[in-house]
Each structure stands twice: as C-alpha cells, then as structure tokens.
Structure 1
Amino acid sequence: MTLYTIGILSERSGVPVKTIRYYSNRGLLPPAAISPAGYRLYSDQELQQLYRIVALRRLGASLKQIREFVHQDISLNDVLDRQLAAISQQVDTLHQLHRQIQGLQELQGNNDDADHVLHDFWSSDAVPLATAPRMVRRMVTPAIKSSSLVT
C-alpha cells in the first residue's frame, strides 16, 4: 500500500493542505497512518474519500451530513434528498423575493420619494418577516459567483 504525505495528497487531489487538515481534524478524513515523525499519511482509499467529501461539499452538503455519510449513518440518497429539499425551499424564497421586487417597481412607478415607497412596501402584508435580507444574500451570493455574469 502506497502512503502519501498530506502535501502529496494535496497535489494529487487539488485540495489545499489546509482543507485536508480541516477534514482530518473533524474526523471526516482520518489518516491511514502516522509516520514516526508525526506526519499524517494517506492511502488511495483516503484519496477516494477526499473526492467524495469534496463532491458532497460542491453539492452543498453540510459537514454534519458528510460526517453522517462517511460514517454510514445515512445514504447518498438521504444526502441528496435533503439537498433537493433545501434547494426547493431556497428557490421558493427567491421566487417570492422576485415577486416582491417586481411589486416594489410597480409601486415606485414615477414616484421619486424612495423612502415613502419603501416604507409603504415594507409595512405592507406583501413582505413576510421570513424573507430576511441576510438569508437571501447567503442564498444568492453563491449563485451569482458561479454564474457567467461574473468574470
């Protein structure tokens, strides 16, 4: 069995050393062995595990979900089902925000008094309290970064 240092594992996988250490410290990627000098050593099995972890992170899985998957507490279908449900909820929230912005544009019309329009809009029943700007920013920012609009 070939063993790799964390630096070699990083080179082979394209994952930064710092990230590999983080996953290792969190119990997601324990080393296959520890060298006499105290270095973490990884085999091809851990390399495959790292690929699984990175793939699940790219799908938006939480570290908790990945840990459950790695420890075989949940299946891949469970992780994917949870992600689909979360994404569906985010899409619904974004559609609601889209409708609200369109409504605000209609309210604005030719009115130059932005404060008045915003006050009327936010004090109306059209805006549920659950649509918090911070929540929307967390959902929208990754989509904007990955879109072709950002160069």
Structure 2
Amino acid sequence: METYSIGEIAKKTGVSIRTLRYYDEIGLLQPTKDPSSGHRIYTEEDILQLHKIMSLKFIGLSLEEIRQYIHQPTYDLTLKETLMLEKNMLEQKRRQLERSIQAIEYAITLLEEEGEIDSLLLMSLIRSIQTEDDQKRLMTHYLDQETVDAIFHNEELKQKENEMIKSYAQFVKQVHELYGLPADHPDVQHMIETFLRSTFGLLSLETVEKITELLNQNQWDSFEWKEEWDVLSPLPFSKEETQWLEQAMDDYMQRLEHMGIDMKESKEGENSGYEK
C-alpha cells in the first residue's frame, strides 16, 4: 500500500500543511502515525477523505457539518436539508454581490458623466439598492403585487438604468442649486415637472393610475410609511432641502389638481404651464 508524508499530500492535493495538521487536531482527517518518528502517514483512503472534505467545504458546509457526513458512504435527506439551507444562503450572497456590482456601476456611470459624485447621492443610491427587498415589502402594503412588480421588474426601466441615474443626479444637482427660492417659483416647479415626467414616463398608464390613486388618498404621507421609507431609501438632501422639496411637490400637485390634470394626463402630454 502506497503511503505519503504530509508534505507529499500537501503538494498532491493543494491543501496546505498547516490545514492538514488542523484537520488532524480536530479529528476531521486523522492519518496513522509512524510509531518511531510520530510523523503522519497518509494513504490513498485518506486522500479520498480529503477530497470529500474539500468538496463539502466548496459547497459551503462548515467543518462541523462536514464532520457529520465525512465518514458516511452514502448521504440521506439530512444532507439535502443542509444543502438547501446552504443554497439559500449562497443565493442571498449572490443577490448581495449583484447589488454591490450595481452600486459600483452607478458610481462609475456618474463619475464618467459628471466627473464627481455628491456623497449623499452615492449613499442614497447604495442604500436604495441594499434595501430593495424591504422596499418591495413596504410597497405591497399600499399597492397590489402586480403594480409593485411593474415598478421593480420593469424591463424598460432596466434598459434605461444609466439614463435614469444621470437624470436623477441632475435633479439632485438642481435641488441644491435652486434651494432657497420660493417652493412655487417657476424654475422650481419646472424642475419638479421635468423630474416627474421622466420618472412616470417609463411606467405604464395603469401603474401611474394606481400610484396617483395612492397619492390622492394621502396614504403616502402617513407617518409610519414615511418614517420607514426614509430609512430604506434616504434622500440625498439636508432636512431643510427635503422639507422645501416636499412643499414644492405639494404646490405642483395642487396646481395640477386646480387645472383638472392628474398624473395620468400629465404623462400623456398635459403640462402645468411651467414649460420653458
């Protein structure tokens, strides 16, 4: 029977000597010892066990979990349950990685377009990406699932993602520049109208109607909603800018109502008289 030293096993399998010693210490892979020298002696069977360990570790099992399965010639449904849990964890990590990549892409897009990024804007975008699942959950309390899906799983929105980010960055920049003017100033109202049109323009009429209905019911202004939403998707503005922007938005909506125009009609082409 062919045997191997710990150095030979390390070279043969790519597992470090330190790791092999640790596996021995915790009883995960214990080779026989040379009675005279005390050196570890590995066999082909040990190599097979090591490959089992490496395989189970690769799919995410902890060393303690591996210990439960390593000496079993076959695996039953208990392994399936463990693997399902691990699969769910890996899928969550994958979504997190995808969102991290998305945030980085947003930052790159803005840097390429503007040359610099407002720190509050970047924080807002990253936080919004990070909490997307919670945003969906919150919105389902106020909108039906179909409408929520139309907002978060809109293919047209995804295709124009970079364009939307640039547009939002311009909006943030305008807010900073115009802050201090009266909320009903024509320049401020034009900014609001342009932003709302670009946002709602990518949604279906049915989705806009449902959002308009929600706005008209004043549920959007409920304390519980705003408090939680501000945590999930904080605006890139100071408290004073946010209050000013809310007033400007209220003035715009009141003007639409006074003119007999709703958000659906605004989407279809009606305007509030603030066109430049």
TM-score by length of 1: 0.59
Q: Is the partner of 1:27 in helix, strand or coil?
A: coil
* Alignment of structure 1 residues 106-145 onto 2, 5 Å: 110-114=113-117, 117-123=118-124, 126-128=128-130
Determine which structure has greater relative contact order: mean sequence separation of CA pairs < 8 Å that are 6+ residues apart, divided by chain length.
Answer: 2
Classify 1:105/1:48 alpha carbon distance in 2 versus 1 (closer, same or farther; 3 Å). closer
The residue that corresponds to 2:65 in the other structure is 65
* Alignment of structure 1 residues 1-150 onto 2, 5 Å: 2-70=2-70, 76-104=79-107, 110-114=113-117, 117-123=118-124, 126-128=128-130
Q: Could you tell me how far 1:87 is from its partner in structure 2?
A: 1.7
* C-alpha contact (below 8 Å) 2:110/2:116 kept by paired residues: no
**1:98-129 deviation line (CA, Å, top 9, x unaligned):** 44345556666743442xx2212314651547
* C-alpha contact (below 8 Å) 1:100/1:127 kept by paired residues: yes
Q: Matched residues in 2 for 1:58 and 1:107: separation? A: 37
Q: Matched residues in 2 for 1:86 and 1:3: separation? A: 39
* C-alpha contact (below 8 Å) 1:6/1:40 kept by paired residues: yes
Could you say which structure has the larger radius of gyration?
Answer: 2
Letter matched to residue 59 of structure 1:
I
- Identity value in percent: 28
**1:11-30 deviation line (CA, Å, top 9, x unaligned):** 54443333322221232101
Q: Could you tell me how far 1:69 is from its partner in structure 2?
A: 2.5
Deviates more, 1:96-105 or 1:28-37: 96-105
Q: Matched residues in 2 for 1:18 and 1:51: separation? A: 17
* C-alpha contact (below 8 Å) 2:3/2:41 kept by paired residues: yes
* C-alpha contact (below 8 Å) 1:24/1:30 kept by paired residues: yes
Q: Matched residues in 1 for 2:13 and 2:119: separation? A: 50
Classify 1:75/1:49 alpha carbon distance in 2 versus 1 (closer, same or farther; 3 Å). farther
Letter matched to residue 87 of structure 2:
L
Letter matched to residue 18 of structure 2:
K
* C-alpha contact (below 8 Å) 1:56/1:66 kept by paired residues: yes
Classify 1:104/1:14 alpha carbon distance in 2 versus 1 (closer, same or farther; 3 Å). closer
Unaligned runs of at least 5 residues, structure 1: 130-151
Letter matched to residue 84 of structure 1:
K
Q: Could you tell me how far 1:88 is from its partner in structure 2?
A: 0.5
Q: Could you tell me how far 1:90 is from its partner in structure 2?
A: 1.2
Q: Matched residues in 1 for 2:10 and 2:17: separation? A: 6
Greater helix percent: which structure?
Answer: 2
Q: Matched residues in 1 for 2:9 and 2:115: separation? A: 59
Aligned residues: 126
Q: Is the partner of 2:37 in helix, strand or coil?
A: coil
Q: Is the partner of 1:18 in helix, strand or coil?
A: helix
* C-alpha contact (below 8 Å) 1:35/1:41 kept by paired residues: no
